[in-house]
Structure 1
């Protein structure tokens, strides 16, 4: 059976999908969605810099590098451990944020702006207690801001980078202390191999078992995690 030409003569119906109310100007909804996606993509990085995650993940990375075990433990294990330790350390602060900001906002007692301002106070208190005065003054002097009376008056745009570089310095100091015993083992093994004339044998193949043995005997993971927890004591 042949199809008649008039079978496709009727036009297809138009389909339109609108976001938001119809009174908005053209392009407003699309712009709002774009801004929302941008904020959501940047928010995780900001939250990472405002918590204890930075110090923990860097120290755990130094542990793996000093052991010389390449990709063992894997990145997924280190990041997962760092995240759970972060939740554990930040639990008091996050509980306070939930109490003074999130719950009142969900109950409709405060506006979104008031909730954000209330949530910033516990986070500022945590970051300020672990920020060096020198790092804080660096950004305060750059912005030519007036001397704040308390940590609540410090702008979040100043406190976050100051806290971040303070955490980086602390993490690298802890990493240096972790490297020392393993560096001594590498030097002893390398000197022994050279004295025996075994220059073609890579020292890493000999030193790695000794470093793993030392790390296991001293219960290294316990000591590392204990040091991290104690470093965040107020």
Structure 2
């Protein structure tokens, strides 16, 4: 049983260490010196599971938030433009969402949003 666990953990650990942000790993290593007991912090290595797992998770969260922010920017610009146009035309009672939502969906379809989103997710593992 122990050898099968080692065969599973090894490739997973290498994958996570390869795809984790080195800055996050360095930061976590610095935190071990401050937060852990001295004996534990001296024995820990940059490729230990106790460092690699949180570094990989934080790197993935960081990449996801960056992708989400880049998707959010054009949508908020559409909202601002539609709101300003409606106010300029004197249509205060019309909800901007009724006009901006179809425009957002149209923009997402025209720029092939799903493939761009999936490519951005896949390329986080390539680079």
Q: Give TM-score scaled by structure 1 length.
A: 0.47
Question: Is 2:22 aligned against 1:133?
Answer: yes
Name the structure 2 match of 1:178: 71
Name the SS of the counterpart of 1:213 in structure 2.
Answer: helix
Name the structure 2 match of 1:196: 89
- Contact kept in structure 1, 2:28 and 2:55, CA below 8 Å: yes
More helix by share: 2
CA shift for structure 1 position 200: 2.1
Q: Where does the alignment leave 5 or more consecutive residues of structure 1 unmatched?
A: 1-111
Name the structure 2 match of 1:38: none
- Write the distance in 1 (CA, Å) between the matches of 2:108 and 2:28: 40
- Contact kept in structure 1, 2:79 and 2:100, CA below 8 Å: yes
CA shift for structure 1 position 227: 1.9
| Equivalences for residues 4-153 of structure 1 within 5 A | 112-141=1-30, 142=32, 143=36, 144-146=41-43, 148=45
What's the C-alpha RMSD, in Å, of the aligned pairs? Answer: 1.8
Stretches (4+) displaced over 3 A:
145-148
CA shift for structure 1 position 115: 1.6
CA shift for structure 1 position 201: 1.6
| Equivalences for residues 215-226 of structure 1 within 5 A | 215-226=108-119
